[in-house]
Amino acid sequence: MKFSKFQLTIISLILAAALWTIVFLIHPYDFWTSLSLATALLLILSLAINGENPKIIYGKLSIRMILYGVISGLLLYGLFYVGFEIIKSTSFLLQGVNSVYGFRSTKPAYMIALLLIFPIAPGEETYWRGLVQRRLTERVGPRAGLLLSASVYSMVHLPTLNPTLILTAFIGGLVWGALYELTGNLVPVIISHTLWDILIFVILPLA
């Protein structure tokens, strides 16, 4: 029986959910090593299911795409900075932020930054936007595809029982999904995600 790309994508979500559960709950290795292995696997899986030339999957690199990525990454960081100022008086939400930042102690900052640059941010975006959102959009249209992919992206974080992390994933999924829908290009999305990650975890952490 031959599966379509859409069917393979839906099946792959089971693996993605299992990987996120392993990364956040089982901890076979330190967090950053586990997340790097998981995102590298999803990246490879995405390329295999799409079965296309990477130039088609990722799109063209241009000054405009770079600017889209940098500006959206900075704006998203600003949004979360304001959000943190609002929620930091709420103990259970602040606890969620602190639990995520607890992962920073497992590796040096420069190593975290390198892993965020590759494979973590490119792996996540190649899978969640370049595969999942793309295939969902083909089936249900751009708006529903964007909302569904952002929802699934946040839902794989449910086993963490961390409402702050789940909400962060949903907001990030909406922003990066909208950027992908706007440009049809993964380059600015990867740049935006990478820049946001590095600002949040390495350069200007919120807590």
Mean pLDDT within 72-95:
92
Q: What is the pLDDT of residue 71?
A: 98
Q: What is the pTM of this model?
A: 0.97
- Tens-place pLDDT, residues 134-179: 999 999 999 999 999 999 999 999 999 999 999 999 999 999 999 9
DSSP 4: P
State the alpha helices, DSSP H only, in the chain: 5-21, 31-50, 54-58, 63-87, 91-101, 109-115, 121-127, 134-140, 142-155, 163-183, 186-198
Q: Do residues 57 and 126 make contact, with C-beta atoms less than 8 angstroms apart?
A: yes
Where in the sequence is the domain holding 135, given as residue range(s)?
A: 5-203
Mean pLDDT within 66-82:
98
Residue 106: pLDDT over 90: no
* Structural tokens at position 202: 């390495």
Q: What is the pLDDT of residue 28?
A: 86
The total domain count for the chain is 1
Q: What is the pLDDT of residue 89?
A: 85
